[in-house]
Amino acid sequence: MKIITTPYKIRCELGICHNYARRAVVLDRVGAGSRIHICESCMRTLCALMQEELDKTDRKNAPAGKKAADK
């Protein structure tokens, strides 16, 4: 998987966003429709949401002493 700058003038494919996509996420081994075109605003929102989810998972899987120190 990689993120590339798209050369196409295409709308963002996430939700009801009406911005033009500047990036594309290229998925490995998926086939012809292996790109998701995304604008910078949606990419920032998606990255923040993924980071929050990863942080939750990290806290959940942390050793018991570490959890108490985080609170």
The one-letter amino acid code at 68 reads A
Contact 27, 1 (CB under 8 A): yes
Tell whether pTM > 0.75.
no
Q: Along the chain (71 residues), what's the average pLDDT of each consecutive run of 10 residues?
A: 93 92 88 86 94 87 62 50
Name the β-bridge partners of 24: 4, 37
**What pLDDT score was predicted for residue 70?**
56
**What pLDDT score was predicted for residue 34?**
84
Nearest-angstrom CA–CA distance, 29 and 67: 38
